[in-house]
Each structure stands twice: as structure tokens, then as C-alpha cells.
Amino acid sequence: MRKLRLITALLIASSVCLAAPAALAQDGDTAVTTQELQFVFNTLLFLLGGFLVMWMAAGFAMLESGMVRSKNVATICAKNIGLYSIAGLMFWLFGYNLMYGVDAGGWIGSFTWYEHPTHEAETGSYAGTSDWFFQMVFCATAASIVSGTLAERIKLWPFLAFCVVLTGIIYPIQGAWTWGGGWLKEAGFSDFAGSTIVHSVGGWAALVGALILGARIGKYDSKGGIHPMPGSSMPLATLGTFILWLGWFGFNGGSQLALGTINDASDVARIFANTNTAAAAGVVAAMVLTQILYKKVDLTMALNGALAGLVSITAEPLTPTMPMAALIGVIGGVLVVVTVPLLDKLKIDDVVGAIPVHLVCGIWGTLAVPLTNDSTNFGSQIIGILAIGVFVSAVSAVLWFILKGTVGLRVSEEDERGGLDIAELGLEAYPEFGPVTSPSTA
Amino acid sequence: MRKLRLITALLIASSVCLAAPAALAQDGDTAVTTQELQFVFNTLLFLLGGFLVMWMAAGFAMLESGMVRSKNVATICAKNIGLYSIAGLMFWLFGYNLMYGVDAGGWIGSFTWYEHPTHEAETGSYAGTSDWFFQMVFCATAASIVSGTLAERIKLWPFLAFCVVLTGIIYPIQGAWTWGGGWLKEAGFSDFAGSTIVHSVGGWAALVGALILGARIGKYDSKGGIHPMPGSSMPLATLGTFILWLGWFGFNGGSQLALGTINDASDVARIFANTNTAAAAGVVAAMVLTQILYKKVDLTMALNGALAGLVSITAEPLTPTMPMAALIGVIGGVLVVVTVPLLDKLKIDDVVGAIPVHLVCGIWGTLAVPLTNDSTNFGSQIIGILAIGVFVSAVSAVLWFILKGTVGLRVSEEDERGGLDIAELGLEAYPEFGPVTSPSTA
Amino acid sequence: MRKLRLITALLIASSVCLAAPAALAQDGDTAVTTQELQFVFNTLLFLLGGFLVMWMAAGFAMLESGMVRSKNVATICAKNIGLYSIAGLMFWLFGYNLMYGVDAGGWIGSFTWYEHPTHEAETGSYAGTSDWFFQMVFCATAASIVSGTLAERIKLWPFLAFCVVLTGIIYPIQGAWTWGGGWLKEAGFSDFAGSTIVHSVGGWAALVGALILGARIGKYDSKGGIHPMPGSSMPLATLGTFILWLGWFGFNGGSQLALGTINDASDVARIFANTNTAAAAGVVAAMVLTQILYKKVDLTMALNGALAGLVSITAEPLTPTMPMAALIGVIGGVLVVVTVPLLDKLKIDDVVGAIPVHLVCGIWGTLAVPLTNDSTNFGSQIIGILAIGVFVSAVSAVLWFILKGTVGLRVSEEDERGGLDIAELGLEAYPEFGPVTSPSTA
């Protein structure tokens, strides 16, 4: 019986108030202690932040569904729900203890699975499992970034196999170096909510993947021509962006890791405001700049401008003033508008613009930390960016090449032209609308 | 004036700290008591959990919109917003007091409407109305399950009439038996967040409705052929699944019913992790199994695999270890992949797979409780499953037959072929895309 | 290192418990004080409410995307993400201090930008920046209302220019009069969460804009004929409505402005229940009434019925009993069904029905306050409605005329027929589906 359980819970609660002096009891009631209160508030922050970041998985799914052509939409949906699920399992099986089981100053934790602590073991300032949940959704975010870049040509299972290693091994090991308390932390590297540790990790894996996989058929011709392949649904792309923006309050706000004091609550509020301001500034910068450059606002750039602002503020969403948050976001928005055509010139085919958003702005955000946070320095930031970039790129490259050389990474030309949905899933995303073979196929 | 109200509130707050000894007062401040803290945290949990479960109504609307053909999409939207609204009114008018006004060990509460308690009456460990809100959205969830199965052929108003009785009478009465403290609770039946009490209730009502309503025209032919009728939008179905997954953290986590102690907060965290793990395991199981069985991943099975894992863990999301949560989810995912074609063989036409997901996995999850929760036993679980199944099926059957014999349940053959949107609403869901008469119509 | 930071935070937290008598300390722990607890809970309410209201921006984007024709969908997406971003910047640059820097009984605050308070300055009962965030998303909501009415013919940049002034100047000034503690507050005007201060403000700006802009080509013919222009996606419109409904729990619930006492938590719960009940009643009223009037349920009316109920209960979601909340919602739903055709008769072209929903129901909700709240009176309510209506209409009219006379408000006839997406953004929302030139174009 649901309601009676509450009374029992209350009785238990009263009795576990270990630190409350008995003399305070009155009418069977006791005073609450700081430790107890902190524990509940901090755990609540992890759970709130966690479900908001979990929601970002839907945001990536919608953004990518809107940015690919209709013949590949169902496959990108399958990849997104698949990778989120894989992250959830791998971060339990290996990831968490690899990342947080590291010795101070060390390089790697242990290959053991995560187990729920018992009530008796909950002696810290938050529930252990709430931290697992919060860190797990961050791991999933890194994998989500990869799927967009490589869309419309990578096979489903090899992509998911990459995600197994990315979420179970690659992400946790580099995460251990800073957030796990390892050597990069000791080296002074600072990345509050993961511009580098989450976003550029996904970005590096995506970049290396894009280089090894090659561009979509018809995207670039031999004469240097670049052929746009417009996304199938702008409202879904917009929805995805709004979802990501919403989820980012959990991403950055939750990374305060504590809520139960006046200072922590104020800091979380400040993080919310700075996060929103950077995103808003990124949108406005991208809209104004595309109007100036191309005489028209580019909606996909505006959407990516929001994400650019968000990624840029993620490495340090707490210390900036509002004008600095806006400036960090503006530069992020400009970087995306500038980098997207640059990648096309280099014939690096990034379907959704994930490399400009998550890698380029991830680096920018990480470099910007010392501008507002006096306890950091550019040298340490550069060491962190390079160390993580080299590690993730190298291991990803090895992994992509192994997959390419064994099961193969790319669908056949025929399947790519006909669409991955029919080839990989045997269905269509929109069976009643539009052409089965898209006119955009060269 | 919004800001000044805070100061007043603070003054009131200080004065209502009844249990705080005056001797503690210092600078006008007083110590907080356990009862007060519990009250606020528990109420907050109900409100947070409640809005997440409310959001599941949108999830069902999107999942079902994606899984029906375009000619029936607007009608399924109307059904979903209609049923959520009806649940909100009926659970106020009858439902809550029928469900929670029952005597210990009893069968039924009272036919009176719910009234907000006054401040003076708020003496428990949570705000009374927060519990009403939380329980109301659970009731709406049960009704949401029915709409998907019966889509594409049931008339709008008879369906809504069924929902009036389901949410106002059927759901609350069976809910009273366990969560209201009635006879099933006394018999030892345990269903933490409603694998049986919510999900299989919707599933039984849907199954009986599907049997009485019959299959869609052209779904099954006389030679035993089964004709797939692909859903109109895979990204909307995917979005709906992610929404449901997100909402489930409120569904299961909120069912802890308390947050304000170290143990409760830890338990909510554990529930979040187990819920996510079961869903992830359900997705992976469904993807792997459909790849093995059909040589292709089936996206709709992957989505239903997530929901299968979620329903399966719902009866007991707290006591399992992580490996057990994964196992419970895997079995849920397998059950869905196996049961969907079985229903087709029986010519039971379930448009979205709600019977496999909510009924079959609801039973599985309920049976799995004693595997991890020592205070339960299989006998009591079976009694609960059977009692609720028989009651809901019998009353639903009577109600469906009454509706069939009076106003009629099913649209005309012409209207079904032309689509319910034109017939029932006089509009089209996508007036500019695709054929008005879908090519999938036999 | 993320986990170690928690321990530091805890140590700081313990030391800031200024009001906790040292004698209570035991095992290094101290009792929590009321002020500290209030601060965290109230801040949390602002952040929770704030992210839910932020999410309403996505709701408006989806609702409007679904209600416009496909050739204008991308532009409405650009407008929505643009206006939300502009609101975020303008409410920082001018809005907040214009609105909350006003003297008691005054008319206007100061033209200074908002700065984060330092930790030392956080002496109130909530974090200053959490209030900024919460109030900013309300400001954005007012602008969101305008975009729907004026869709399918207004140019992108002039619309965004209007939003700059609306969110930076118009909204904050009228907001200062009541929520800022200005003269309307002194005059006894009461508007709990903004039926007038947010919703009718958007509604007046939209109405004046619609009058100055004129109807879409082909909407009304010279013989008095009204030509429906069906929205392109009913599921997106439904999704948008559900998002708005969800966000409204933050909108109304957060406007309690305090959570940390038994009474405040109870009040927030009561607000949630009344908000849901009014919305549900609005849906049912609109469905029943359209069935009676037109022999068919009108889905767009049902969706607007939900919003009508929500707007209507917003001026006073706390004091009504459940039956009164339902009644307020029913009248809202009826008003929308009655007003939509009335506007068409007046040849006022409101693409999404924002004027009936936000202006008409905003007025109704504000007038209904004295029915349940004894501390208010009809005279003061009418003064508030008129004062704000006259101010917003007049300033908006001047601004619309300035824009019309300088840069121009409306796209060319050719661009309007071909769709704003091609003309304004150079892309299509759904490049692979349906006709580029919609058959609905007269």
C-alpha cells in the first residue's frame, strides 16, 4: 500500500537522524543535520541533472533525424536509441569503475562492474548510484555526437560496435585523468562540465571516423563542387536543438555536483544563466553572420549556433560574468559559421556539423577557461586538450580501421543510394511521403 | 508583487516551524525539523515524478502517431489529448477517493470527489494534493495504453467513453485493492510502481477491446497472410519512446513516495539506475534477437524493447542488483520480439504492440518480483495478476459490448479505408504530404 | 576532480551555517537553519520552474510548425529560436532591472544590465540569479505568443526587431507595474502567474500586429468567404500543446516563488492540480462544443482548449477549489471555440489562434480572480487589464508602424505565395515531401 509506506519511511527517517541531539526532540520530531540535508539535495541534483542529460539523447536523435535525408532517418533513430542503451550497459559493466576507480594522479581505474552501494555504505555527501546515473548519461552524450557526423553511410552494427568501446573504454579512461582525479587533474587541467572531456571526445572520434569512412556519394565532385544534401525535416532539427538546450541545464548545472548550501544553490543558478546566455548569444551571432555573409539567415547555422554557445560555455559555466558568457557564446557561434564551409573545402563530410560544434567549440571553450577562472592556466588547458585529443584520435583510428578491415564500415554504393533504412532495417521512416529514392542523390 | 511575497512567505515559514524549540532561535532563525523537511522533499518528489509521468502522455501520443498510417494520425492525437484530459477530470470526480478511500483489507473506496486539503489539514509527510497529482497521471497512463492497440478503426467518442469508465471506475477500484491498502495488499501482492496495476490493466482493456473490435481491414487475409501496415513516421515513434523512457524515471522513482532521508534518496537513485539498465537491456536484446531472427534490426522492436524493459522492471525497480535489472530487461525485450508475431498468428491486431509490451511484460515483471524481493512470494503475485486480470477483462468486455451494441465501436468500412482523420475530424494530419488514401489500404 | 569537490563543498557548507548554535554540533555535523533551507528550496523551485518554462519555447515552436503550411515551417522555427535567444539577451541587458528595479508604486526601473550577485550578496531567501532565469523565460513566453499569429507573411528580421523591443522594453515596463511592485500592485491588481502580464501582453502585441500586417493572401475573399489553410502537421501541433502543458506546471507552480515550508509545498501542489484540471476541462469543453456545433471534433480547437484552460487559470491557480478550476477552464475552452470564428469574421488573420487563447482567455482569467481570491476586486482587475492593454497596444502599434514604414513588415506577394522558407532562408523545411508551392495557396 503506497500511502502507508510513507509513514514507515518517516519513522525510519526519524531514527536515522544520527547526529540530531535527542534533547531537541519535541512531539517526536528531531532537527535535521547538515550532512543529511546535503546528501538529499546533492542526490536530487544528480537525478535532476541526470534525467535532463538523458533527454539529450532524444535531442540528438531528433536533430540528426531532421538533418539527414528521409531515406536514412529510421537508421539514425536506431543508432541513437542503440548507442544510448549501449552506453547505459557499458558504463555499468566497465566505464564507471574505469573512470572513478583511478588512484590520485593515475591513468586508469579498474575493469570491474558497478554495484549499488548498500544503505550502510552511503556515507558520503550524495547517493553513490545517483553519481553513476549522472556520469553515465555524460558518457552517452559523447557517443551521441559521433552518430550525426557519420550518418547516411556507416553500417549500423559497426557503428554500435565502436560505441561499445567508446563508452566502455575510451571515454572512461580519458575521463579518469581529470574527473576521476588522475594525472591531468594533477597537471592543473580544468573542464567543469566537459567541453573537452565529453564534447571534443565525441568530436575527435567523429572526425577520425569521417576521415576513414569518406564522404557520402555525390557530396563532393572531382571539380571541387560541393553539393548540399538538405535535411529532411527542419522542425525535427529545431526540436532536437531545443531538447539539447534544455538538457544542457542539467549537463552544466548538475556538474556543480552539490546543491544543498546557499553557495552551491547560487552557483547552480549562475550556471543556468550563463549557459542560457552563451547559447542565446551563439544563435544571434550565427543568424547575424549568415545574414551578412550569405544575405539570408541559415536556420541550420542558427541551430548549430545554439549548440556552439552551449559547448563553448561548458568548460567553465560558473566563473564568467554575463557579458563574458555572451562573448564566449558569440565566438562559438562565429566559429561554427566559419568552420562548416572549411570542413567542406577539406572534403570532410560531417552530416550535422558535429565537428564544428563539439570539437572546435569544445577546444575554444576549454581554452577560454583561464579568461575567467584564475585558478587555471593556458598551459594546463592546452596539455589537456592535446592529451585527450591524441589519445581519443589514436585509439578511435585503430578501432575504425579494425572495423573497416574486418566487418567493413560502409554500406554498399547501391545501399547508400537507395537509403540505409531499406538496406539496414528493411523499412522506411516515412513510407507514405516523398520518394523512396531521394532526388538529392547525385 | 512577486518578490515581496517571498519575504512574507519567509516570515510565515519561520512562524510555522512548530516543532523547533524557541531556544534555538538566533538572528530570527530557527532549526528545521525532520517532519517539515520530509514534507517538502516528499511533496517535491511527487510533483517532479508527476510532471515526468504527465509527459508520458505526450510520449504515447508521439509513439502512436508514428506507428499509425498518416490517414489516422490526427485522430490518434485527439484520442491521446482527450484521454489524458478525461483521466484528469475523472480521477478528481471519482477515481482518487475510490482508490484511496478504501478501508484496510477492503474492496472499494467512496464515490466522492477529491478536495484540496486546507493548510491545517496537511499533517502527513507530504502535501495531499501532490499525491493526487502523482496518482492521477498514473491513471492516465493506463488509459494511454489502450489507444494504441485499437487505433485506426475505433470511433473517437466510444473510445473516450470507455476511458471515462476506465479512469473513473475500473482503474481506481483495482488500484484500491493494493495501493489503496485493500485486500490484495493484505494478501501479500506487491507491485512497486505498477507493472500490473497500471500497465497490465491497460493491456487487458486493450486485449479485450481488440478481440471485440476485430482487426483492421486488410491486416489479415483469409489464407493466413499477414499484411504489414507500416507506421507513418519512425522519428515520431522514436521520440515517443524517448519521452516514455524519460517519464519512467518519474514513474518508478516517484513511486518510492519519499525522498527526504539518506535512505530514501539512495533508493530513488537506485531505482533510476535499475530502470535505465532494464530499458537499455531491453533495447539491446530486441536488436540482437531481430538481427538473428530476421537478419535485420527491426527498429519498432528496438523501441518496444525499451518499453518492454521499462514495464518489466516497474513491479520492482528497487531491490534488483544491476545484473538482475539487466536480466529482467533482457527477458522483457525477448518477450516482445516473440509475442508480437504470436498475436498476429492469433489475428489479434495490436497496432503499436501495446499488448506484448504492457500486458505480457507487465505480467513478467510482476512475477519477477520475488526473485529479488524476499518479502514477496510467487503465490501472492499470481493471485494479484489473476484477480486484476479477471476483473479488468470482465468489466472491460461488458463495457466494450455495451458500447458496440448501442453507439457502435467501429467506423464504417468506407471511413476506415479513407482514414479516420477525414471521417472523424474532417481534417488531415499532413494535408500537404503523401496520398490522402494510403497505398497501404488493401 | 569532480567527486572530491563535493567534500570541499560540504566543508564550506558546514562553515556557512551561521545561525546554527555551535552547541548542536556533533560528529562534525550541525543543524540546518530555516533560512538556509528556504534559500535552497526556493532557488530550486526557480530553476525547476525556469527550465520547464524554457521548454515552452520548444512547445510554441512545435505548435506553430504544425499549424503553418509546409512552405513556412522553417521560417517559424527560425523565428522561435531567434526570439527565445533575443529574450535571453534583452532581459539581461535591460529587461530585468527595468522590471525589478522599480520603486514601490513606481512606473519604471533602470536601464542597467543584470549582474550576478556575489556569494556575499546572497542574503535573501533565494539565489538572485535563479530569479533572473525564472523571470527571463516568462519574458520569452510573451514574445513566443506573437510569432504564431503573424506567421506566414511577416519578414524574419522585422519580427525579430519587434521582439528586441518587446522583451527588452515593453514587457519589462508593464511587468514592473505589478510584479516589480509598481503602481498597479499598489492599485490592488493581482495576476499570480501572468494571464495578463504575460499572456495578454503577447496577445495585444499580436492583435495589433495582425491588424497592421493584414491577412494572408487568399485567406479572406471579397465576398466574405473564409478559406481554411490547414496546418502542415497535426502531430507536431499536438506535441507542442503537450510541451506547453508540461511547461505550465513550471509557469504556475514556480510562481508560488517559494517551496521550503509545509504551506508553500502544499500550495505548489495545489497549483499543479488546479492547472491540470483547468487544462483538462478546456480540452473537454472544446471537444464537446465543436462536436455540437460542427458535428465533428475539431482537433486544433481541442489543442487550443488545453491552452485556453491553462491561460485562464494562470491569473489565480492557487485559491480555486477543484470545481472552480474546472469551471474556469471550461469557460476558457468555450471562449476559444467562440472567438476563433469571430476573428475570421472581422478578417483578423491569426494563424494559430493565439489571440483567442492568450488575449481573450488572459482577460477572462484575470477577471475571474476575485471569484476565488477574497483579497482582490473586479475594479482593480479591470484597471490592470486596461492599463496594460492600452500601453502594450499603443507602444506595439507605434513600433509596428515604424517597422512597416522603414524596413517593411511583409514579404512580397510572390514570396508569400512561394513560401517564406525559400524567400527568407533559402531552404525548405521538408525538401523531400509534398509540393513546394502548397495547393492551399489561393
pLDDT for res C30: 64
- A chain contacts of residue B269, beta-carbon cutoff 8 Å: 43, 46-47, 127-130, 132-133
List b or e across A33-68, with b for residues whose CB sees 16 or more CB atoms inside 10 angstroms. bbbbbbbbbbbbbbbbbbbbbbbbbbbbbbbbbbbb
pLDDT digits 0-9 by tens, B58-90: 999 999 999 999 999 999 999 999 999 999 999
- A chain contacts of residue C19, beta-carbon cutoff 8 Å: none
Grid coordinates belonging to C302: 481541442
Alpha carbon separation from A100 to A107, A110, A132 (Å, rounded): 11, 9, 10
Q: Is A88 within the bounds of a domain?
A: yes
Q: Give residue B191's Cα distance to chain centre.
A: 14
**Candidates A43, A62, A432; nearest CB to B434:** A432
Question: Which DSSP symbol is given to B154?
Answer: B
- C chain contacts of residue B122, beta-carbon cutoff 8 Å: 262-263, 266
**Candidates C43, C57, C431; nearest CB to A269:** C43
- B chain contacts of residue A36, beta-carbon cutoff 8 Å: 261-262
Is B307 an interface residue toward A (CB < 8 Å)?
Answer: no
pLDDT for res C435: 57
**Candidates C92, C133, C431; nearest CB to A230:** C431
Task: List C residues 128-167 in contact with A (Cβ-Cβ < 8 A).
Answer: 128-130, 132-133, 136, 156-157
Q: Please judge whether B246 and A54 are an interchain contact, meaning their C-beta atoms are less than 8 angstroms apart.
A: yes
> What does the pLDDT average to over B112-129?
94
User: Taking the CB of residue A97, how many other CB atoms lie within 10 A of it?
Assistant: 22
Report the residue of chain C nearest A273, measured CA to CA: C133
pTM of the model: 0.94
Mean of the per-residue pLDDT values of chain C? 92
Distance CA A143, CA A354 (A): 12
Which residues neighbour C262 within 8 Å (Cβ) at sequence distance 6 or greater? B16, B36, B39, B40, B119, B122, B127
Distance CA C98, CA C111 (A): 6
Report the alpha-carbon angle C113-C114-C117, nearest 5: 145
Q: Is B91 within the bounds of a domain?
A: yes
Query: Helix or strand or coil: residue C291?
Result: helix
Q: Is B344 within the bounds of a domain?
A: yes
Q: CB–CB of C176/C109 below 8 Å?
A: yes
Q: CB–CB of A137/A53 below 8 Å?
A: yes
Distance CA C424, CA C440 (A): 20
User: Which of C193, A42, C428 is CA-nearest to residue B432?
Assistant: C428
**Interface predicted TM-score (ipTM):** 0.93
Q: Which residues of chain A have pLDDT under 70?
A: 1-31, 434-442
Distance CA C257, CA C271 (A): 12
User: Taking the CB of residue B157, how many other CB atoms lie within 10 A of it?
Assistant: 17
The label of the residue with cell 522506411 reads A428
pLDDT digits 0-9 by tens, B170-187: 999 999 999 999 999 999
pLDDT digits 0-9 by tens, B361-401: 999 999 999 999 999 999 999 999 999 999 999 999 999 99
Is C58 an interface residue toward B (CB < 8 Å)?
Answer: no
Mean of the per-residue pLDDT values of chain B? 92
CA A299 to chain B, closest CA, distance in angstroms equals: 20
Q: Is C25 within the bounds of a domain?
A: no
Q: Which amino acid is at B273?
A: A
Grid coordinates belonging to B16: 510555522
> Can you give the C-alpha Rg of chain C in angstroms?
23
Mutate to test the interface with C, among A69, A177, A196, A276 (most CBs of C within 10 A): A276
The label of the residue with cell 495488499 reads B185
Judge residue B347's burial from the number of C-beta atoms within 10 Å of its C-beta, 0-12 exposed, 13-18 middle, 19 or more buried: middle
**Candidates B129, B425, B433; nearest CB to C296:** B425
The enclosing H or E element of C388 equals: helix C378-405
pLDDT for res B438: 41
Grid coordinates belonging to A255: 556538474
Distance CA A89, CA B325 (A): 11
Tell me how many helices (H) and strands (E) chain C has: 19, 0
pLDDT for res A441: 39
**Candidates C181, C261, C291; nearest CB to B16:** C261
Which CATH number covers residue B196?
1.10.3430.10
Count structural domains, chain C: 1
Chain B neighbours (≥3 Cβ pairs under 8 A) are A, C
The 3-state secondary structure of B288-330, one letter per residue: HHHHHHHCCCCHHHHHHHHHHHHHHHHCCCCCCCHHHHHHHHH
Q: Is the pLDDT of residue B349 over 90?
A: yes
Grid coordinates belonging to C200: 495578454
Is B80 an interface residue toward C (CB < 8 Å)?
Answer: yes
User: Taking the CB of residue B15, how many other CB atoms lie within 10 A of it?
Assistant: 10
With cut-offs at 50, 70 and 90, classify the pLDDT of residue B29: low
Query: Helix or strand or coil: residue B29?
Result: strand
User: Which of B141, C12, B264 is CA-nearest to residue A47?
Assistant: B264
CA A415 to chain B, closest CA, distance in angstroms equals: 14
pLDDT for res C29: 56
Report the residue of chain A nearest B38, measured CA to CA: A10
DSSP A334-364: HHHHHHHHHHHHTT---TT-HIIIIIIHHHH
pLDDT for res A123: 85
Grid coordinates belonging to B294: 530476421
- C chain contacts of residue A264, beta-carbon cutoff 8 Å: 9, 13, 40
Distance CA B380, CA B368 (A): 12
Judge residue B20's burial from the number of C-beta atoms within 10 Å of its C-beta, 0-12 exposed, 13-18 middle, 19 or more buried: buried
Q: CB–CB of C232/B74 below 8 Å?
A: no
Question: Which DSSP symbol is given to A121?
Answer: G
| Ramachandran class of A109: left when φ > 0, alpha when ψ lies in -120 to 50, beta otherwise | beta
Cα torsion A152, A157, A162, A166: sign:
positive
Query: Helix or strand or coil: residue B69?
Result: coil
Q: Is B15 within the bounds of a domain?
A: no
Question: Which DSSP symbol is given to A217?
Answer: T
Q: Is C361 within the bounds of a domain?
A: yes
Which residues neighbour C406 within 8 Å (Cβ) at sequence distance 6 or greater? none
SS3 content of chain A, % helix, strand, coil (to 5): 70, 0, 30
Q: Please judge whether A263 and C27 are an interchain contact, meaning their C-beta atoms are less than 8 angstroms apart.
A: no
Q: Which residues of chain C have pLDDT under 50?
A: 1-28, 436-442
Domain that holds residue B188: 34-441
Q: CB–CB of B189/B384 below 8 Å?
A: yes
Alpha carbon separation from B217 to B186, B414, B423 (Å, rounded): 46, 10, 16
Chain C neighbours (≥3 Cβ pairs under 8 A) are A, B
Distance CA B365, CA B271 (A): 14
Distance CA B39, CA B127 (A): 7
pLDDT for res A34: 85
Query: Helix or strand or coil: residue C275?
Result: helix
Q: Please judge whether C297 and B57 are an interchain contact, meaning their C-beta atoms are less than 8 angstroms apart.
A: no
pLDDT digits 0-9 by tens, C184-223: 999 999 999 999 999 999 999 999 999 999 999 999 999 9
Q: Angle B34-67/A34-67 helices, nearest 10 degrees?
A: 10
pLDDT for res B8: 36
List b or e across A175-207, with b for residues whose CB sees 16 or more CB atoms inside 10 angstroms. bbbbbbbbbbbeeebbbbbbbbbbbbbbbbbbb
CA C207 to chain B, closest CA, distance in angstroms equals: 27
pLDDT for res A30: 64
Q: Angle B378-405/B156-165 helices, nearest 10 degrees?
A: 140
Q: Is A27 within the bounds of a domain?
A: no
Lowest mean pLDDT among A30-44, B251-265, B344-358, C311-325: A30-44
User: Which of A125, A93, A131, A127 is CA-nearest to residue A109?
Assistant: A93
Q: Is A9 within the bounds of a domain?
A: no
> Can you give the C-alpha Rg of chain B in angstroms?
23
User: Taking the CB of residue C322, how many other CB atoms lie within 10 A of it?
Assistant: 23
pLDDT for res B233: 98
Report the residue of chain B nearest A133, measured CA to CA: B273
Cα torsion C301, C307, C311, C314: sign:
positive
